[in-house]
Amino acid sequence: MFSFLKLPGNLRSIRRYVNIVRVLSSYGFDHFLEMLGLADLAARSRRLFQRERAAIRRLSAAERMRLALEELGPTFIKLGQILSTRPDVLPPAFISEFEKLQDNVPSFSFEEAKKQIENELGGPVGDFFSSIEPTALAAASIAQVHRATLKTGEAVVVKVRRPGVLELVESDISALMGLAHLAERHIPNSEVYDPVGIVREFSRTIRREMDFSREGHTIEKFRDNLAAADGLYFPRIYWAQTARGVLTLEYVEGLKVSDLSALDCGGYDRKLIARRGADAFLEMVLNHGFFHGDPHPGNVLIMPGNVVCLLDYGIVGRLDDELRNFLSDMLFAIVQRDIDEVVSLLFFAGDIPDTLNMRALKHDLLNFIDGYYEIPLQEIEVGRMLMEFIEIISLNRIRIQPDFMLLAKSLVVVEGMGRNLDPEFNMIDHLRPFMEKARLQKYSAKRITKDVNALLLSYLNLARNLPRDLQEIVNRINRNKFKIDLEHRGLDRFTTDFDRSVNRLSSSLILAALIIGSSIIMQTDKGPQLLGFPMWAFLGYTAAAVIGLWLVYGIIRSGRL
């Protein structure tokens, strides 16, 4: 039986667990809850919260899960949006549905916004702003934005964190972490998908997104990295009016990148805009390893002079030197149709399962590369090519870093905007000089010297630590403290089912004993009488009836007749 004592967290977290189980059960995920060992709790939820299930059953599992995430609120919508970039975790049907998730929520009151600003900045609103518009420009699950004017006269926008969202998110993270641990404990082979690691990565992402001062530093880092790039603009941060829960930015006026008619009427050069946007994104990725993770058209403004301005820096991706080298080498190997090099790179950069079928992997990769063999370079969509590649390695259960998945998704969006602006846009042309530069740097004398020094240093550290590690092992053996831990997965569910079966068998034996004993007493005339029958026999039959009804009710409720 499920016990709340097994769950971490405070009372609020436990209430959230109950709500999550209720929602998942109401959308038909009882089998999943049963796998987690939450069948009893799900059964109680069904009795307390009835939902019209006929219409829901007609929906696919992916559609039902999307609806469940929307009902569970902002944290789960964010989780779904992040998982939509993880084809290594979710099948295509779920990714397609999760891409539809929107965190459209009503704005909170202006009085609450003012109180939040004052709490964060440590003083009355009038000390920092000469005016703030009461009506929010936009509202989302984590924050909303107001136009304002500083006391020095500059027009700004103020991003205000939603009251209570920190507590809500922390409660949801606690609940998700508990469910992730249950999944690893009860669901066979769940370690392939690393549910605890997914929740841990998600918690880091959403906590960074809720820290607006971090977002301000992110904007300044982008400005410094791309200082030499032409035609880019980053809004100014007003640090005196910024804190962890309030971000004050320069108000930027411009046209939406998707508004082609307005761009044409204004005399903008769409080809130049597409080129500047693509070059800026590729420079973020391949030169700096630090890129905008949500570059959809709503976050891109075009200013006079064909200047591109990016907005909303809450989600960013990071690629270390190894992952950047992996990306450039992988693209080069795919273009060269070198299957062995692709496999070698995957073994170096990916998390390879023990059950990998090498022949099947090479067959899948060969079919993938052949699909692009006769396609002209100008017609190849690099982002979608990367997504297809990720799908192949995901089917073979090879895991790579989540930021690589985010990059592929962002590249699809950037490439789509480029083709929308310029039908002749070709990402390969923009990518080629970056790849050539990366390969020249990889084989330069400076880089080779750096790699050799790093390799020698790693071997030196290994040689230095090896005697100590061996001595530690010998000491543990001598002290009888050398242990090997064995973990049996899936036994918890077996033990629970076995205990339930034993309890039912014991109750059945007691029921049979009561019926037989009462029948024997019924044949005697001794003892007190009740309605002309021996009272003890009457009480025995009554107890047997109660136990019998309880057994029947428990069996029907479990759904296992």
Angle at 195 between CA 194 and CA 201, to 5 degrees: 90
Letter for the amino acid at 56? I
CB atoms within 10 A of CB 329: 21
CB 100 within 8 A of CB 66: yes
With 0-12 / 13-18 / 19 or more C-beta atoms within 10 angstroms meaning exposed / middle / buried, residue 362 is middle
Residues 6 or more apart in contact with residue 503 via CB below 8 angstroms: none
Provide the pairing of β-strand 155-161 with 143-150: antiparallel
| 515 to 19, 287, 430: CA distances (angstroms) | 43, 82, 86
User: What integer best gives the mean pLDDT of the chain?
Assistant: 82
CB atoms within 10 A of CB 159: 23
Task: Assign 316 to helix, strand or coil.
Answer: strand
pLDDT at 49: 45
CB 162 within 8 A of CB 142: yes
275-332: pLDDT as tens digits: 999 999 999 998 899 999 888 888 899 999 999 999 989 889 898 888 888 888 887 7
Give strand pairing partners of 300: 310
With tokens 């920190």, the residue in question is: 166
Of the listed ranges 293-297, 408-412, 442-446, the one predicted with least confidence: 442-446
User: Which of 26, 9, 15, 22 lies closest to 177 in space, CA to CA?
Assistant: 9
With 0-12 / 13-18 / 19 or more C-beta atoms within 10 angstroms meaning exposed / middle / buried, residue 487 is exposed
End-to-end Cα distance, the chain: 19
Read off the tokens for 384.
């979608």
Say how far apart CA 314 and CA 215 lie, in whole Å. 6
pLDDT at 125: 93
pLDDT at 8: 47
CB 331 within 8 A of CB 390: no
CB 133 within 8 A of CB 148: yes
Q: What is the pTM of this model?
A: 0.72
68-122: pLDDT as tens digits: 888 888 888 888 888 887 777 788 888 888 888 866 678 899 999 999 999 999 9
Task: Enumerate the domain spans of the chain.
Answer: 105-252, 324-446, 449-489, 491-558
CB atoms within 10 A of CB 211: 17
Give the rounded distance of the alpha carbon of 521 from its chain centre: 66
Write the DSSP symbol of residue 128.
T
Q: Write out the catalytic residue numbers.
A: 294
Read off the tokens for 413.
């969006």
Q: Does 13 score more than 80 pLDDT?
A: no
Dihedrals phi, psi of 245, to nearest 5 degrees: -110, 5
Q: Does 542 score more than 70 pLDDT?
A: yes
Q: Does 249 score more than 80 pLDDT?
A: yes
User: Which of 21, 103, 95 lies closest to 60 in space, CA to CA?
Assistant: 95
Q: What is the mean pLDDT of residues 177-201?
A: 82
378 or 362: whose pLDDT is higher? Answer: 362
Type and span of the H or E element at 417: helix 402-421
Q: Which residues of 76-104 are buried (b: 16+ CB within 10 A; e: fewer)?
A: bbbbbbbbbbbbbbbeeebbebbeebebe
Give the rounded distance of the alpha carbon of 364 from its chain centre: 27
CB atoms within 10 A of CB 162: 22
Provide the pairing of β-strand 533-534 with 529-530: antiparallel
Q: Does 10 score more than 60 pLDDT?
A: no
Letter for the amino acid at 419? R
pLDDT at 2: 43
Express as a percent the part of the chain with pLDDT over 70: 85
Q: What is the mean pLDDT of residues 511-524?
A: 78
CB 434 within 8 A of CB 442: no
Q: Does 145 score more than 90 pLDDT?
A: yes
Say how far apart CA 197 and CA 183 lie, in whole Å. 12
With residues binned 3-state (H G I as helix, E B as strand, rest as coil), the percentages for the chain, rounded to 5, are: 65, 10, 30
